[in-house]
Amino acid sequence: MKKCEIFSKGIIKENPVLVLLLGTCPALATTTGVVSALAMGIAATAVLFCSNIVISMLRKAVPDKVRIPCYIVVIAGFVSVVQMLMHAYFPDLYDMLGVYLALIVVNCIILGRAEMFARKNGVIDSALDGLGMGIGFTLALVLMASFREVIGAGTWAGIEIPVIKDYAVSIMTASPGGFLAFGCLVALVAKITSGKAPAKKSFSCEGCPNAAACNKESCETDVKEESK
């Protein structure tokens, strides 16, 4: 696979949030405003980028049996570093993201990329993959946050938008708005790609930490057969 393609696939074609439906928790929780969405995206990208590199470097050293715990330690380590840096240098953003910052640890995208890509590919490829996926994640979050903030609060990144400001639909920034906006955006992406995008099932179940139960329940029957 070309380097360029490795990098770009995460941004649109295999966008982790809108196409693969990974990392839904932060996508819903931190998209009440563009600023927090961007902060979340950048934090997750940093963790993804670093953990992909380290896991790729360690790919030959780590025995198969303990690979998941090893990945979790590495990821949690980077998450803690990001937490501390953010707490020190961007305390406002740190407060805004709250517990969701720590929860990057359990973001399916990161463990998923480690399992799916980094442990099978070289350092540079893994770095590009992490960066691309991270940017795709960030873009999706910002897009969704823009949608919610503009309609819900009549502002964009805190900047007031005239006219819309007076007709803000505040439920869009409340929790139901998160589900609604996410549903609509996923539908929109499905409409645009009209089914050409790879379905979640054929792509990432292997890497998804939910795979064990998910295979049996939600990732349709063909995967189940495949995996047997």
What is the contact surface with other proteins in residues (CB under 8 A)? 21, 24-26, 28-29, 58, 61-63, 65-66, 68-70, 72-74, 76-77, 79-81, 83-85, 87-89, 91, 98-99, 102-103, 105-108, 111, 171, 174-180, 182-184, 186-188, 190-191, 194, 209-214, 216-218
- Minimum separation from the CB atom of position 86 to other proteins (A): 9
Instruction: Please name every residue paired with 160 in a beta bridge, in sequence order, or none if there are none.
Output: 155
Q: Cα dist. 129→48, 154, 165 in Å?
A: 9, 35, 39
Shortest CB 161 distance to other proteins, Å = 24
Question: Which segments of the chain does DSSP mark as H helices, in order?
Answer: 3-9, 24-29, 34-57, 67-89, 91-97, 99-102, 108-113, 123-153, 175-193, 200-204, 211-217, 220-227
Query: What three-state secondary structure class fits 160?
Result: strand
Which backbone phi and psi does 210 adopt, to 5 degrees?
A: -80, 0
Residue 55 or 139: the one with the smaller Cβ distance to other proteins is: 55
Separation between Cα atoms, residue 31 and residue 27, nearest integer Å:
6
Give 207's DSSP letter: T
The encoded tokens of residue 109 equal 């995208």
Q: Please state, in angstroms and rounded to a whole number, the distance separating the CA atoms of residues 48 and 141.
A: 15
Closer CB to other proteins, residue 10 or residue 178?
178
Q: Which is nearer to other proteins, 58 or 164 (CB)?
A: 58
Name the residue nearer to other proteins (CB basis): 76 or 168: 76
The distance of closest approach from Cβ of residue 5 to other proteins in the complex, given in angstroms and rounded to an integer, is 26
The whole-angstrom separation of Cα 113 and Cα 55 is 10
Q: How far is the CB of 122 from other proteins (least distance, A)?
A: 20
Nearer to other proteins, 69 or 158 (CB): 69
Nearer CB in complex with other proteins: 1/221? 221
DSSP state, residue 21: -
Shortest spacing between CB 171 and other proteins, in angstroms: 7
Rounded CA separation 153/85 (Å): 30
Q: How far is the CB of 174 from other proteins (least distance, A)?
A: 7
Assess contact for 96 and 26: CB atoms under 8 A: no
